[in-house]
Amino acid sequence: MPDIPVPVFPDNQQDEVHLQDIHPEDHFPGHHKDNVEIPISKFLTSIVTAITTKTAWINLLVMLVILIQVTLRYGFHAGEAWVDEFIWHLYAFFMFGLSYAITTDSHIRVDIAHMKFTRKKQRIIEVLGILFLIMPFTIIILDHSIGWVHHSFVSNEFSENTTGLPYRWVVKSLLPISLVLIFIASLSELIKNVVLLIHGEDVTNNHSSDSGSAIGRLFTPTITKNKEI
């Protein structure tokens, strides 16, 4: 069997191909992934991810309940009203995904404009967007939602269907909880972007973990992963 020729690349071209296979920002010029870690930001993010990654499994429960309801309704003509309500009660957990999207930078943005900016300008836009859009919206809706849940709890609100679910305040309480998670995620991103605007993009690990005050160390960025060049 004849030998199959193997293409030979120069050393620099091999490195370039290797980088393209690893780093998405090489494929998408406007995409940047931070390789730094800020202790306080990491702690806040861990709170959000710990909750949202566990409640994400409720998606499987939603699909299972929908499958059961559809089978009962169209297969046995025995659908129950409380099952329909239980499904949209579970849908409320989807709001937790908003905070997770903020921590992973996977939410939808106007990338066609955002990707053309320098990393510093992108961080400034992130800071302004968090300060003047996300946080005010979150605080206002959170304030109204708490009163909404309190009224539902005090009045012992329940379903209007005779076979519906009681304790409507339980599902309504997911709104303020999700808003708190969004606020925590936004605060984490705000701290990270402000710190990196102050320190610049060329962060080094020259900071000693034993130097400075305890509060100062919480805001000290350190490199978590270095690119191979």
Task: Tell me which amino acid residue 94 is.
Answer: F
pLDDT(210) > 80: no
Interval 209-218 mean pLDDT: 72
Please indicate, yes or no, if residue 60 is contained in any of the structural domains: no
Interval 156-169 mean pLDDT: 88
By residue range, what is the domain housing residue 217? 34-52+95-223
pLDDT in tens, 91-112: 999 999 999 999 998 877 666 7
Contacts of 101 (CB under 8 A, 6+ apart): 107
* Percent of residues, the chain, with pLDDT higher than 90: 52
Please indicate, yes or no, if residue 22 is contained in any of the structural domains: no
Q: What angle do CA 191, 193, 198 make, to 5 degrees?
A: 95
The domain total for the chain is 1
Interval 170-186 mean pLDDT: 96
Q: Residue 159, class by beta-carbon neighbours within 10 Å (0-12 exposed, 13-18 middle, 19+ buried)?
A: middle
Interval 151-166 mean pLDDT: 90
Residue 137 contacts residue 53 (beta carbons within 8 Å):
no
Please indicate, yes or no, if residue 148 is contained in any of the structural domains: yes
Please indicate, yes or no, if residue 229 is contained in any of the structural domains: no
pTM for this one?
A: 0.78
pLDDT for res 194: 95
pLDDT in tens, 39-70: 999 999 999 999 999 999 999 999 999 999 99
pLDDT in tens, 19-36: 344 444 444 444 556 778
Please indicate, yes or no, if residue 18 is contained in any of the structural domains: no
Considering only residues 9 and 163, tell me which one the structure prediction assigns the higher pLDDT: 163
pLDDT(7) > 70: no
pLDDT for res 3: 55
pLDDT for res 131: 97
Contacts of 46 (CB under 8 A, 6+ apart): none
Provide the 10 A C-beta neighbour count for residue 90. 18
Considering only residues 127 and 8, tell me which one the structure prediction assigns the higher pLDDT: 127
Please indicate, yes or no, if residue 13 is contained in any of the structural domains: no
Structure tokens at 128: 């302004």
Tokens 């409720």, located at residue: 58
Provide the 10 A C-beta neighbour count for residue 27. 9
Please indicate, yes or no, if residue 103 is contained in any of the structural domains: yes
3-state secondary structure the chain: CCCCCCCCCCHHHHHHHHHHHHCHHHHCCCCCCCCEECHHHHHHHHHHHHHHHHHCCHHHHHHHHHHHHHHHHHHCCCCCHHHHHHHHHHHHHHHHHHHHHHHHCCCCCCHHHHCCCCHHHHHHHHHHHHHHHHHHHHHHHHHHHHHHHHHHHHCCCCCCCCCCCCCHHHHHCHHHHHHHHHHHHHHHHHHHHHHHHHHCCCCCCCCCCCCCCHHHHHCCCEECCCCCC
Please indicate, yes or no, if residue 159 is contained in any of the structural domains: yes
